[in-house]
């Protein structure tokens, strides 16, 4: 009778833990919050002005300190609604910021892929450059029809971890960092 009671107690404990684990994993998930996003018309095209809020997990900080580069990719899609068919995909763009740490110079470097890296003395300063990036042209002038209303969808997150870390990222939420898609409307000027 006591063995049966202990088994029942063990099953109840396992069931309780199984119910609690998804909530704990969800709470530990690192996210990027898009705190500000807007499109501005300029002479050369339409610029995205965005601000993000996020913190690196200890695992990501350790990887960065060990010399692993972290890529943060921002994706934007601009679509126009149509009453007679699906939304028309007008324009899309991607931009990747890479942060790395040089152990010899003890400096952090942030660069937009395809440009020159900018050095920083602290990780917080380097992350500030990623959280508040410069405005960038997401669509050239003439890509949007003046007066039309467009739906803009924006997302940002950690991208392209080295292969050994990708396997770890599947099992551990400390290796993931992404935002929910933020959608807003823009009337082309």
Provide the number of structural domains found in the chain.
1
Predicted local distance difference test score (pLDDT) of residue 18: 57
Structure token pair of residue 5 = 């009671």
The whole model's pTM is what?
A: 0.74
Structure token pair of residue 17 = 């833990």
Predicted local distance difference test score (pLDDT) of residue 110: 96
Question: Residue 7 falls within a domain, yes or no?
Answer: no
Distance (Å, whole) CA 20 – CA 82:
45
Cα–Cα distances (Å) from 27 to 14, 68, 129, 136, in that order, read 20, 26, 27, 33
Question: Residue 97 falls within a domain, yes or no?
Answer: yes
**Coil, strand or helix: which one is 102?**
strand
The confidence band for 173, taking pLDDT boundaries of 50, 70 and 90, is: low
* Residue (of 35, 33, 56, 55) closest to 179 by Cα position: 33
Question: Residue 47 falls within a domain, yes or no?
Answer: yes
* Residue (of 169, 161, 157) closest to 66 by Cα position: 161
Domain residues for 128?
33-187
Distance (Å, whole) CA 39 – CA 188:
9
pLDDT tens digits, 79-125: 998 878 877 888 999 999 999 999 999 999 999 988 899 999 999 99
CB-based contact 63:186 (threshold 8 Å): no
Question: Residue 182 falls within a domain, yes or no?
Answer: yes
Question: Residue 48 falls within a domain, yes or no?
Answer: yes
CB-based contact 40:152 (threshold 8 Å): no
Question: Residue 25 falls within a domain, yes or no?
Answer: no
Structure token pair of residue 184 = 């807003």
Check pLDDT > 90 for residue 152: yes
Question: Residue 150 falls within a domain, yes or no?
Answer: yes
CB-based contact 1:26 (threshold 8 Å): no
In the chain, alpha helices (H):
2-28, 58-65, 123-131, 163-171
CB-based contact 189:146 (threshold 8 Å): yes
Question: Residue 24 falls within a domain, yes or no?
Answer: no
């Amino acid at each position: 009778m006591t063995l049966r009671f202990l088994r029942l107690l063990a099953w109840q404990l396992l069931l309780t833990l199984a119910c609690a684990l998804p909530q704990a994993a969800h709470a530990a998930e690192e996210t990027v919050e898009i705190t500000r996003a807007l499109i501005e018309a300029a002479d050369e095209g339409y610029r995205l002005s965005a601000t993000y809020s996020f913190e690196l997990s200890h695992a990501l900080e350790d990887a960065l300190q060990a010399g692993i580069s972290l890529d943060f990719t921002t994706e934007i899609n601009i679509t126009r609604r149509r009453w007679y068919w699906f939304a028309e995909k007008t324009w899309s763009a991607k931009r990747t910021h890479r942060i790395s740490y040089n152990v010899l110079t003890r400096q952090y470097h942030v660069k937009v892929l395809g440009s020159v890296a900018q050095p920083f003395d602290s990780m917080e300063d380097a992350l500030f450059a990623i959280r508040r990036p410069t405005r960038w042209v997401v669509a050239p002038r003439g890509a949007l029809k003046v007066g039309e209303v467009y739906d803009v969808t924006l997302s940002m997150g950690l991208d392209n971890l080295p292969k050994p870390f990708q396997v770890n990222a599947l099992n551990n939420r400390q290796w993931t960092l992404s935002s929910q898609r933020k959608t807003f409307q823009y009337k082309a000027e």
